[in-house]
A = this chain, B = another copy of it.
Amino acid sequence: MERVDNLAHERETAQFDVEAMKIVWAGSKHELDVSDRMARLVASDPVFHKDNRTMLARKELFKTTLKKAAHAWKRINELHLTEEEASKMRFFIDEPAYTDLHWGMFVPAIKGQGTEEQQQKWLPLAYKMQIIGCYAQTELGHGSNVQGLETTATFDPNTDEFIIHSPTLTSSKWWPGGLGKVSTHAVVYARLITEGKDYGIHGFIVQLRSLDDHSPLPGITVGDIGNKFGSGAYNTMDNGVLQFDHVRIPRDQLLMRLSQVTREGKYVQSDVPRQLLYSTMVYVRQTIVADASRALSRAACIATRYSAVRRQFGSQDGGPESAVINYKTQQNRLFPLIASAYAFRFVGEWLKSLYTDVTQRLQANDFSTLAEAHACTAGLKSLTTSFTADGIEECRKLCGGHGYLSSSGLPELFAVYIPACTYEGDNIVLLLQVARFLMKTVSQLTTGKKPVGTTAYMGNIEHLMQCRCTVNTADDWLNPSAIQEAFEARAVRMAVNCAQNVSKAPSQEEGFLNLSADLVEAAIAHCQLIVVTKFIEKVQQDIMGNGVKEQLQILCNIYALNLLHKHLGDFLVTGSITPKQGALVSEQLRSLYSKLRPNVVTLVDAFNYTDHYLGSVLGRYDGNVYPALYEQAWKDPLNESAVPEGYAEYIRPVLKQQLRLARL
């Protein structure tokens, strides 16, 4: 294929230093370097090629994943990669695999819930992958409601063992990644029963498969739960089903950091505070927010580059047609997605620092910010993943027909991404948790309890309930404090409004249930405010590089004003802005889009994604889209022969009117 940069003219118009922006996006020069090295390492290794992934049948697909995982582990050891490097490497391999759960859930569960002794026993085995573990919580009948899980772990004092059992069909473990075909062990969540009493859900380390020949141990039924959304995508993962028929495990395989069962069967709580568990949740959700920014930026990168290549209409006097990226509707759909990717990147970065802060406080027995941090991460997980899922699909639509081809990379990206809206907490269930926290915060305002962290603005309630937005011209909307105040007023007024309506109901709980649709909207308003605030704060920091800050400023304004426009009803109903001011938002957005236009291709270059990672013929760095589409097409198995299999049996008899005789 010819080596030309079809996007060179786009790159020439950029008004900022792309190398400096790459550092801002990566987080630091060091992180950029590590990412860059790992991305290239993966891209240059033929074992990690992935362009035929959507064409493989399940078994073949799964086998290539096993191969990639083994090869990655081999390379990690050979090259003595650090943990940071290894995790980046796995990220760029870009394929869900059992290792995600082993490193991301199994190991952290033991670290978080195991005693020192248990950690010493199990972690070295896990670190060397002498055992492979998964996280078996969800059951066929229960996901969101963890307290409803049915698997039992009954202590038998005669043998000093727990008996793990699946009493019903719906108690079958269902969904755990890595469980179906690979894991030798699992952290299994089950109802702890001892001395006839049910103490609720606890985690247990259970061996599932023989370490000799990998066959399931006696009493264990285990398998894969079958095909999932899309081709390729998450089908590389062996999400599994698991049933226990009175499986016995030693007592010391109950994870005992928080509570123990004595040799006699007495249930004892340790003095370690239960709140510690939350910090793991904050950690995991923080990584999910980071993943959201990566998935959205990837989709936006593909759609942006292709929109700059794709020409349609607008030719004058036989000259070239207009690139579709010049159409205002295309900009209005695409540019807020680029801005959101940046917004999520920065709120993710901030969440990481929040996690550090929370952990330090916990170690000092300070629980004062935990509930707020928990609500905040739950809300941001929900907000960013829902938006990203929709955003990827919008990027696909922005590519017209060609976005529907697997070779565009977008169908698989969507299919593999969307479960993020469901796992680690269904997004609506999470927003309801945020709403509960907001209602509590509002009710405590009168008691003088000061709201902390991301709810601190609520302390300013008197001002926010009656302030009036002072925007007079479209340019006034470039003022960060005008934006911030409008978002704060909207959030606080929606929350207060809900609280008032809830309090009219016969009981608080009834009111909450009845108004939950409104409460979800109030929670969203609060979470959007957080993202807007963190973006504004980011832009107010010192930022190196020619023109970098100016671009981030534009992106920040696009992010906020686009949200304002999309949720205009909220802002108007609460009187946070006037209809006139709402109209000025649209005007300012048009002007911001024009300012961003010469920079967009370079702004997505700053993500520094390799063509291997993007995995999209439409998103190629060089914009040389059409020959690539054409070449890729011919690789389809259907093109192995000019006349398709089945012609003689099913096409010819139709054409020749010989169907009556045909045996079908």
Contact = CB atoms under 8 A, between A and B. Distances in A.
B226 A590 contact: no
A444 interface: no
Contacts of A315: 148
Contacts of A77: 659-660
Given A227-B55, A312-B148, A626-B170, A575 B569 contact: no
A238 to B, nearest CB: 7
Contacts of A662: 70, 74
Contacts of A659: 70, 73-74, 77
Given A58-B638, A145-B313, A626-B169, A400 B422 contact: yes
Interface in A53-87: 54-59, 62-63, 66-67, 69-71, 73-74, 77-78
Contact of A655 (B211, B579, B649): B211
A463 interface: no
A12 interface: no
Contact of A582 (B74, B144, B415, B569): B569
A182 B644 CA distance: 8
A634 B223 CA distance: 7
A329 interface: yes
Which interface class (under 10, 10 to 19, 20 to 34, 35 or more) fits A? 35 or more
Contact of A66 (B428, B637, B640, B650): B650
Interface in A274-292: none
Contacts of A656: 130
A627 interface: yes
Interface string A419-444: 10111001110001000000000000
A321 B62 contact: no
Per assembly, the copies of the chain total 2
Nearest to A230: B230
A642 B572 contact: no
Q: Which of A71, A216, A654 has the most CB of B within 10 A?
A: A654
Nearest to A175: B401
Q: Which of A422, A428, A638, A645 has the most CB of B within 10 A?
A: A638
Contact of A328 (B144, B321, B397, B516): B516
Given A626-B141, A651-B214, A328 B66 contact: no
A232 to B, nearest CB: 9
A97 B120 CA distance: 59
A203 interface: no
Contacts of A515: 328, 590
A241 B655 contact: no
Interface stretch (A186-194, A359-367, A402-410, A447-455): A402-410
Interface in A599-653: 626-627, 629-630, 632-640, 642-647, 649-653
A467 interface: no
A328 B332 CA distance: 33
Contacts of A182: 644, 651
A231 interface: yes
A488 interface: no
A332 B664 CA distance: 48
Given A74-B662, A231-B231, A636 B226 contact: yes
Interface string A295-335: 00000000000000001110100000100000111111100
A586 interface: yes
B401 A422 contact: yes
A653 B70 contact: yes
A213 interface: yes
B423 A415 contact: no
Contacts of A78: 660
A461 interface: no
A404 B419 contact: yes
A160 interface: no
A293 to B, nearest CB: 21
Contacts of A503: none
Contacts of A225: 405, 633, 636
A405 B516 contact: no
Interface in A195-245: 211, 213-216, 222-231, 234-235, 238, 241
Nearest to A627: B169
A249 B215 CA distance: 65
Given A568-B573, A575-B579, A637-B58, A644 B405 contact: no
A599 to B, nearest CB: 19
A215 B129 CA distance: 54
Given A222-B642, A226-B633, A567-B569, 20 more contacts: A57-B57, A66-B647, A70-B664, A74-B664, A140-B626, A141-B626, A143-B401, A224-B633, A225-B636, A226-B636, A227-B406, A227-B407, A230-B231, A230-B411, A327-B516, A328-B517, A329-B520, A331-B517, A404-B419, A517-B590
